[in-house]
């Protein structure tokens, strides 16, 4: 669990990264995503529906429906997902929640948080989902191995 993003945002990041591993236009069912990420199906559905207004995710009804990436993965960065779910206020406000925190009136961790905040925004803005696809596939495969080993099927 992170200390910066909400659980909803964490799962949105994971789900969109998962969707980005499919071929262009491929839809995944909520059940499939749920199974692969070990997250309740209803939670995944709500999170992905929350991303549809941003255009990051599309939902399709019907037998071949489900959720799919709504834009080119080369046009989506992790910061876009964070903005759609949690917003960017965390990068513009005091990490400890003090009102009026500023360079002139800093909180106890103002300067350190400023450096971390800048590095975090840079990291989330640096790569597109297309550039992260290989690493995402590796992580998904690692999750599959972990789940298989836990269930005893990997022996």
Note the pLDDT tens digit of each residue in 44-71. 999 999 999 999 999 998 877 899 999 9
pLDDT for residue 153: 58
Domain presence at residue 27: yes
pLDDT surpassing 60 at residue 100: yes
Q: How many domains does the chain have?
A: 1
CB–CB of 18/3 below 8 Å?
Answer: no
Residue ranges making up the domain that contains 43: 7-147
pLDDT surpassing 90 at residue 84: yes
The SS3 of residue 59 is: strand
Domain presence at residue 152: no
| Whole-number percent of the chain with pLDDT over 70 | 96
What CATH number has the domain bearing residue 64?
Answer: 1.10.10.10
> Which letter, b or e, does each residue of 110-123 get, where b requires 16 or more Cβ atoms within 10 Å of its Cβ?
beebeeebeebeee
pLDDT for residue 1: 44
Dihedral angle sign, alpha carbons of residues 96, 123, 37, 55: positive
Look at the block and give the residue holding tokens 């998904």: 140
Domain presence at residue 1: no
Kindly report the average pLDDT of the chain as a whole number.
90
CB–CB of 85/78 below 8 Å?
Answer: no
């Amino acid at each position: 669990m992170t200390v910066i993003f909400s659980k909803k945002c964490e799962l949105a990041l994971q789900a969109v990264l998962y969707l980005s591993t499919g071929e262009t236009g491929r839809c995944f069912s909520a059940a499939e995503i749920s199974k692969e990420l070990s997250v309740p199906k209803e939670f995944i559905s709500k999170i992905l529906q929350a991303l549809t207004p941003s255009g990051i995710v599309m939902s399709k009804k019907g037998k071949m429906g489900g959720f799919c990436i709504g834009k080119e993965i080369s046009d989506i960065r992790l910061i876009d997902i964070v903005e759609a779910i949690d917003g960017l206020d965390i990068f513009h406000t005091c990490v400890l929640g003090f009102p009026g925190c500023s360079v002139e009136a800093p909180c106890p961790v103002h300067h350190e948080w400023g450096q971390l905040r800048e590095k975090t925004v840079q990291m989330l803005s640096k790569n597109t989902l297309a550039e992260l696809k290989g690493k995402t596939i590796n992580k998904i495969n690692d999750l599959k191995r972990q789940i298989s080993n836990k269930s005893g099927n990997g022996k």
